[in-house]
Amino acid sequence: MSVIEIDGSAGEGGGQILRTSLALSLITGRGFHLRNVRARRSKPGLQAQHLTSVRAAAAIGDAALRGASLGSTDLVFEPGTIRPGTYRFDVGTAGSVGLVLHTIYLPLSYRAQNPSAVTLTGGTHVRTSPSFHFLDATWRRYAALYGLRISLRLVRPGFYPRGGGIVEASIQPAERLTALRLSGSGDAKVTGFSAVAGLPAEIARRQARRAAYRLEQFGLKADIQQQVWEGGPGTVLALEVSGGPVPALFVAIGERGKPAERVADDAADEAIAHLRSGVERVDAHSADQLVLPLALADGPSEFAVSRVTRHLLTNIDVIRHFVDRPITICGEEDQPGSVSIDGPGGIDNAGG
């Protein structure tokens, strides 16, 4: 069977092309050659978290690798047999453990016969990556809807630049993936938390106060709890918006020199944009993750999205390299839209 050729500079040109390729290679048994890895990023090639994803995929799938080194822009991945079990993967930096989990969870559930226990060390709350709390509050609940049983535990938070956070994941095998036609109640309610680790509690109070003010200006009263965590240093502001298929969590992370109010504004801006687009829609961060398992699910799926992102469009293009199934996007980029996945589904629709 021929190796699939993939251009890593296509679409958004980032690490998602790599992660989706790794997952689908393991699931379909098709090897791939990825060139121009992360070509559109300021530091192209495999960085620590991407290299950890490659090595994690190779470990669970007994795969052969070429080009798996730091900074590499050319990778060949040839999968073997998926082996469930107990694994530990350390990013070695504050790189996102959530993105490593996104690489391996579907092969370990959909293509394995026994449970797996995975421990991940690195960044649990880092900018532009899914935080632990997003994974637990939103991503894991969507996974349950399409038939996966995954439990997560935050052992220790890890922030940029130190990292060192620890997440434990328990992944159960699934015989099939369930197609979804998603909708929500549309009844919006906002809760959340403002947390500091290794920093003054006043920062958490300022974040919470600002976020509550922003949402009150929008017309919603938000219950935002203040928390102090061990470890750090770092800050988090998370806003959970109900009314959709599952609660949507919007998270902002503090940075050195970034005022607490700006952290709150970042989370509030995303939450308010989602509310304006229609709270019953799938949030923009979840849409590109949903399309991958639903492309393998039994039967057609359909869901509305709050915003059609370049990540979503790119992920669909990568999926089409491996899976022969009609996937249709309605809506312009950066606008609300919908996703339809037709056909019978299942692993038999692996394409070339």
Residues labelled as active-site residues: 311
Distance CA 167, CA 280 (A): 30
Among 315, 318, 148, 271, residue whose Cα is nearest residue 339: 315
* Cβ proximity of 118 and 169 under 8 Å: yes
Residue 68 CB partners (closer than 8 Å, separation 6+) = 46, 51, 54, 55, 58, 75
* Cβ proximity of 84 and 56 under 8 Å: no
DSSP state of 244: S
* Cβ proximity of 192 and 214 under 8 Å: no
Cβ atoms within 10 Å of 309's Cβ, excluding its own:
18
Sign for the CA dihedral angle at 316, 320, 325, 331 comes to positive
Q: Using alpha carbons only, how large is the chain's radius of gyration in Å?
A: 20
Structure tokens at 179: 């197609």
